[in-house]
Structure 1
Amino acid sequence: MRPNSRFADVRTFDIDAVAAAAGADPDVLRLENLDTDVPPPPAAVAATTRSLDEGTGNSWLPFTGLPVLCEAVAADLRERTGVGYDPLREIVITSGGTSAVMPVLLATTQPGEPVVLTDPTYAGLLQRVRLSGARPHLVPLRVERGRWRLDREALEQVRSAAALLLMSPSMPSGAVLDRDDWEAVARVCDRTGAYLVYDAAMERIVFDGESHVNPCRVDGLAGRTIVIGSVSKEYRMIGWRIGWVAGPADVMARIRVAAVYNTTVAGGFQQRGAAAALTDPSGAGVAEAVAEYQARHDTVVRQLDGLPVVRAAGGWSCLVDAEAMGLDAATLSARLLERGRVAATPMTAWGGPVARRHVRLVFSNEPVERLSDLRARFDAALS
């Protein structure tokens, strides 16, 4: 078959392989996938059901999102970012947040241009950069005092970039970027003329009272930031597959075209459910969900005390350093499943040398009670 260079360095997530190996055994602790058992907002379920019953979402149009959802996204972003986005010109609804990434890359980069990401980063971001024809430039996350921190010295060395594609909290590490980090990002964007593509999927899932800084509130970033969001993480609405992109009108004109020709339209029934979640006066259970995720995270860290697990500042997962235990990540993952009955994904497709030495532990889909024997399972795997 005729080769295609775009696929030369693209790797699979490895999540599906670990899940398939785990099978349906109820004794296996499922820490490999970013699902959650914390329920979605009742208001979102009711609005989706009502739309199905009434047939109000069964349409191709409008291609770029129902006005009710575009307006809800604009109101939500105004509170988070301080920016007043035009719902019709500066917001596009997509089939999940990650489905927005490729249209954004196509609209902001040329083949071969560098895109800055962290190492580790979400494989769905990294591999899309490669598929778009752009070139990943990885900036390491470093462990300092038991927490992940952005290597700002390495970031400051960036001299050429079409975009910086960043998350906070970041998958899979749970790293949260602070104001000094975003100010360093602003300097790189100013020096290179790059866009900041900010994946805000987990923005409010932060632990330990950690303050979260939206980059649009940092001088020099609002006018060059493209925000990608979704209802999957904060609102626990994974199966709805609803996300959005917001940004300056000039680049959004290109993104709108790329998004329409990528998926045509996001599901109308689900859009009405997403609008209900965003406008739920009760807060849609976000604070309660974050408290539950922190309890699970803290259980994981407590169980693995003395092992090289890195505490997350937010998100749904944390990382354990396989190489610090004398194993590579693939071997640790295999031993955890075979000996400890723990499904956990090696980070071989999730970055460069930093990612490749780690295994991810997702705590969003297992309650504290199930996590309470994690140390015994690790001990069995390491014996």
Structure 2
Amino acid sequence: MKTSSARLTGLGTTIFAEMSALALRTGAVNLGQGFPDTDGPAEVIEVAVDALRGGRNQYAPGTGVPELRHAIAAHQKRFYGVDVEPDTEVGVTTGATEAIASALLGLIDPGDEVIVLEPYYDSYVAVIQMAGGVRRPVTLRAPDFRLPIDELRAAVSPRTTAILLNSPHNPTGTVLRREELDAIAAVATEHDLVVISDEVYEHLTFDGLPHIPITTLPGMAERTLTISSGGKSFSFTGWKIGWATGPAALVQAMIGAKQFLTYTSGSPLQPAIAHALGADDAYFDTFRSQLQSQRDLLCDGLAELGFEVYVPEGTYFATTDIRSLGFDDGVEFCRTLPERAGVVAIPHQVFYDDVEAGRPLVRWAFCKRPEVIEEALNRLKVLAT
């Protein structure tokens, strides 16, 4: 009896499932998976409750309910000056992960090459493989994790059809600068490539750094599918409401695949995220400020314990080099850390084709309450003894 398809070869269980299971089994503080330990705004929850009680519990339109599509379009105009037609240039998905999967399934053919920045979110690799594509990684290396522009140019071949971009970048926390985005745009336009831009951390940038959507650059609006979600921006990761915006043809290709995956997405949750997207500037400023404070708490604490810390410019995550504490293999370190110290973290190594580039690096999540971060740091003191 056949028990698995060839397209799943080498994929295995996601590292997030493995480490979260370890956290549950050992009672460890989970600084591994990127989800907050507090809920988002209460008023947004009330909108969802009203929708549940008001009978909005059947299938929503496949592209999303009108109020959410219009709210997404208004958000893009408000923050980035991007004009989006809500009826044809917006598609709602079951989280950003489904948007990425549907986009790749709808836009690449077997044998097509997709350029990705590594370390990469592990879903990218899985979906490219399941779609029959070939990934071409471009490595962001410690200590600064900047884009190597010459390597980006060298990664293009006659089979390249797309660039899968992520900024702010998970797991490094890099926020791509305008000159880096200009280089990506130049490659995309020269070679007539589609850019699938994962921007779920768009509102999580620190120290005054702006998030610049690549679609705002000259020549990019017609070739960019921009992906985001309500989970990261409003702390509702379990709701799985995502979306993509872009040219009607690219959105339609994504929806063409999505319709045969989930068809539609969380009907009563969509009006709530529509409401959230209209939050005033104070919400986004406070959210960013609180996360920056949590970042500083974690990074300062890890540095005091002897880790070499690469302070992130955005996202939920900080990266450390564990060699300063006498370790050299992040996978082994993270698999034994729950028993040794009662803390869970994620090894970078599993997010690289270039395994050596990620071997000594470990990712820690700071989207947790300060007291939880402090407890984790207190437990980690055992490593320094």
TM-score, normalized by the shorter chain, greater than 0.5: yes
Structure-2 separation of matches of 1:238 and 1:182: 28
Aligned position for 1:153: 150
Q: Structure 2: where are the runs of 5+ without partners?
A: none
Q: What does 1:34-73 correspond to in 2, within 5 Å? A: 34-55=34-55, 57-73=56-72
Q: Report deviation, 1:168.
A: 1.0
CA distance in 2 between partners of 1:349 and 1:142 (Å): 15
**Structure 1 or 2: more helix by fraction:** 2
- Contact 2:99–2:227, Cα closer than 8 Å, also in 1: yes
Q: Shift of residue 44 of structure 1?
A: 1.3
Alignment equivalent of 2:291, drawn from 290, 293, 317? 293
Identity of aligned residues (%): 28
Counterpart-to-counterpart distance in 1, 2:207 and 2:380: 26
Letter in 2 for 1:369: E
Q: Does structure 2 retain, via aligned residues, the 8 Å contact 1:9–1:130?
A: no
- Contact kept in structure 1, 2:204 and 2:288, CA below 8 Å: yes
Cα distance in 1 for residues equivalent to 2:171 and 2:284 = 20
Task: Please say if 1:307 is aligned against 2:310.
Answer: no
Match of 2:75 in 1: 76
- Taking structure 1 as reference, are residues 232 and 192 closer, same or farther at Cα in structure 2, changes over 3 Å only? same
Q: Which moved more, 1:319-328 or 1:240-249?
A: 319-328
Cα separation, 2, equivalents of 1:303 and 1:142: 23
**1:347 Cα deviation (Å)?**
2.9
Q: Which runs of 5+ in 1 are unaligned?
A: none
After superposing on structure 2, the runs of 4+ consecutive aligned residues of structure 1 that deviate more than 4 Å are: 373-376
How much does 1:125 deviate? 2.0
Trace 1:207-218 onto structure 2 (pairs within 5 A): 207-218=206-217
| Partner Cα distance (2:377, 2:241) in 1 | 37
Over 3 Å counting, the alpha-carbon distance change for 1:251 and 1:372 in structure 2 is closer
SS for the counterpart of 1:261 is: coil
**1:98 Cα deviation from its structure 2 partner:** 0.7
Deviations 1:41-72 (A, max 9, x none): 223111101111111x2222412111111111
For the residues of structure 2 that align with 1:191 and 1:89, how far apart are their CA atoms?
A: 27
Contact 1:13/1:349 (<8 A) preserved: no
1:104 matched to which residue of 2? 103
Q: TM-score, normalised by structure 1?
A: 0.92
Report the TM-score, using the length of structure 2 for normalisation.
0.92
CA distance in structure 2 between the partners assigned to 1:222 and 1:66 by the alignment: 24
Q: Deviations over 1:123-167 (max 9, x none)?
A: 1222222222111111111234xx321222211212222111111
Q: Secondary structure, in 3 states, of the residue corresponding to 2:243?
A: strand
Query: 1:138-149 alignment to 2 at 5 Å?
Result: 138-144=137-143, 147-149=144-146
Residue in 1 aligned with 2:161? 162
- In 1, distance between residues paired with 2:232 and 2:18? 23
CA RMSD of aligned residues (A): 2.0
Contact 2:137–2:155 (Cα < 8 Å) also in 1: no
